[in-house]
Amino acid sequence: MLFPALPLREVGAKVMIDVLFVLDDKTETPAIVTRAAAMFSVARVSASGIGPEHVSSARVMVVHAALRNLHDVARIEDACDELRRRDDCVYVAKGSERAGIVQAESVGIGRVIAAHQPLEDVLAAIQCILNRDLANRLDGYPEQVIETINTTGTLFQQVAAAMREDGPLPLRLLSDSSRNIGAAIECVGLVEWINAVEMHHSQTCRHVLMVAGYADAFARSLGLSASDTLLFTKASLLHDVGKLFIPIGILEKAGPLSEQERRAIMTHPLRGAKALRKGSGAQPLVIAAARSHHEYLDGTGYPDGLAGGQICPLVRMLTIVDIYSALRETRAYKAGMTPRLAITEMAGMKGKLDPRLFAAFRDMVLNPVFGSQRSSRGPETRLANDCLLNGIHPLDRETRPLEVGHRAFG
């Protein structure tokens, strides 16, 4: 039995989801499901209707049912083997009765959370299982790659928690994460970095880590200074921070978006820029990136309809990298494109992208050895002067800065 409401995935879908909630029949949406749906991809099924096909499509199972009916208990046992019940399952008690807890423990559910415990304990248990699952899938990658992905994941967890409390964003890990991405790519090459990133359970984390990887490679291929490269990678990591306000069920929806859902997603640039201004210490160009990465040179972008010289060089570069990453990624609603198909698609966006930067990016990603190289150019081949920090187009290194409108800086 499926439950209506909330933009959640259908149970049994082919794509993997983060959390499967097992609920009593005719249960209204519990608060924990609503909270979890803002953070993870979520589906629901009734205890009387659960089957192996439901469990196999989820990384974590949360049972939030009274378990008074022995038939329901047997269904859960049949649907989920002993190992998964122990390692990947959480039981959240309903009310003060101990019967459900006793039944959960009797079938070997590894984590039991009492009804009086805060919802944060449930969310922490889910995140712990997802972190372990990610660690297992990253087994065999160099420690530097694993640590970089974990550090960046921690950064996003801290930022998301601050945003839920409407507080200043804690960006202490931002510089370290940005530098470590460049070091990880130098260690294994961009292709292996992307392969590792694709293991992440969160589509939003996968995307920003891919964008940051391509951004670091693009900056280095242009010979930008270390300061510019760091700034560009920081901006890439935070460009979609406003999406942390959008429910995962909308962001990772497998089918077409409704008009209301589309409008909700289009709020993320302004919401992200607003959050970054709130005492986070983010640089103005990082805020500009969050606000303006969907702007186009011909003025048809959003949210401000900026055009031409109103869009600074960093944002122009980020727009190219962001679009390319999105086209390359496999998502719930589409297959990823090959590099050549993605570049062909972008070449059709006449007047929207900076043509010289796009040509440089195209030459980089279509180079046969690109992505397999394990070391980037050393500091001796980089520009001595900062371009992006000073509003100078990277391909106009000796010219004056572009006239950039104040809105493009957030």
The answer to whether the beta carbons of residues 176 and 149 sit under 8 Å apart is no
Q: How confident is the model at residue 371 (pLDDT cuts 50, 70, 90)?
A: low
CA angle 85, 157, 173 (to 5 degrees): 135
Instruction: Give 43's strand partners.
Output: 20
In the structure, what pLDDT confidence band is assigned to residue 399 with cuts at 50, 70 and 90? very low
Does the pLDDT value for residue 404 go beyond 70? no
- Amino acid identity, residue 344? T
pLDDT in tens, 307-323: 999 999 999 999 999 99
Choose the most confident range, by mean pLDDT, from 95-99, 159-163, 307-311: 307-311
Identify the bridge partners of residue 22 per DSSP, sorted by sequence position: 45, 63
Q: What is the mean pLDDT of residues 380-405?
A: 70
195-198, Cβ contacts within 8 angstroms, sequence gap of 24 or more: 196/138, 196/141, 196/145, 196/146, 196/149, 197/149, 198/330
Name which of 23-37, 52-66, 235-249 the model is least confident about.
Answer: 23-37
Max distance between CA atoms of the chain, in angstroms, equals 77
98-102, 105-109, 333-337, range with the lowest pLDDT: 333-337
Q: Is 254 exposed, middle or buried (0-12, 13-18, 19+ CB in 10 A)?
A: middle
Evaluated on CA atoms 354, 355, 358, 360, the torsion sign reads negative
Alpha helices in 169-310 (DSSP H): 174-188, 190-197, 203-221, 226-238, 248-251, 259-265, 268-277, 284-292
**Strand order from edge to edge, sheet including 111-113:** 42-46, 17-23, 58-64, 89-92, 111-113
CA angle, 80 then 83 then 84, to 5°? 45
Please give the structure tokens belonging to residue 128.
């712990």
CA distance 117 to 101: 13
For the ranges 14-18, 30-34, 178-182, 205-209, which has the lowest average pLDDT?
14-18
Q: Given pLDDT bands bounded at 50, 70 and 90, which one contains residue 372? A: low
Residues facing 126 on adjacent strands: none
Inform me whether the pLDDT recorded for 351 exceeds 70.
Answer: yes
Q: With cut-offs at 50, 70 and 90, classify the pLDDT of residue 156.
A: confident
Do residues 295 and 304 lie in contact, with contact meaning Cβ atoms separated by under 8 Å?
yes
Quote the mean pLDDT of the chain.
87
Give yes or no for residue 13 having a pLDDT over 90: no
Residue 123 token pair: 């969310």
For residues 331 and 307, the answer to whether their CB atoms sit within 8 Å is: no
- The residue type at 107: V
Residue range 128-147, pLDDT digits in tens:
999 899 999 999 999 999 99
Question: In order of start, what are the domains of the chain with their CATH numbers?
Answer: 17-130 (3.40.50.10140), 142-409 (1.10.3210.10)
**In this structure, which amino acid lies at residue 180?**
N
What confidence category does residue 410 fall into, taking pLDDT thresholds of 50, 70 and 90? very low
Long-range contacts of 121-128 (CB under 8 A, 24+ apart): 122/32, 122/36, 122/62, 122/90, 122/92, 123/35, 123/36, 123/39, 125/90, 126/18, 126/19, 126/36, 126/40, 126/60, 126/62, 126/90, 127/157
Average pLDDT value for residue range 17-28: 88
The predicted pLDDT at position 10 comes to 43
Q: Is the pLDDT of residue 168 over 60?
A: yes
**Sign of the alpha-carbon torsion through 305, 240, 221, 400:** positive
Rounded Cα distance between 28 and 65, Å, is 12
pTM greater than 0.75: yes
Of 186, 87, 69, 82, residue with least CA distance to 133: 87
- Do 228 and 245 meet the contact criterion of CB atoms below 8 Å apart? no
Per the model's pLDDT, the better-predicted residue between 223 and 165 turns out to be 223
Q: How many residues does the chain have?
A: 410
Phi-psi map region of 190: left, alpha, beta (phi>0 left; psi -120 to 50 alpha): alpha
**In the predicted model, is pLDDT for residue 381 greater than 60?**
no
The answer, yes or no, to whether residue 406 has pLDDT greater than 60, is no
Q: What is the pLDDT of residue 70?
A: 92
Determine how many CB atoms are found less than 10 A away from the CB of residue 215.
31
Which pLDDT band, with edges at 50, 70 and 90, does 377 fall under? Answer: very low
What number is the average pLDDT over the span 66-83? 93
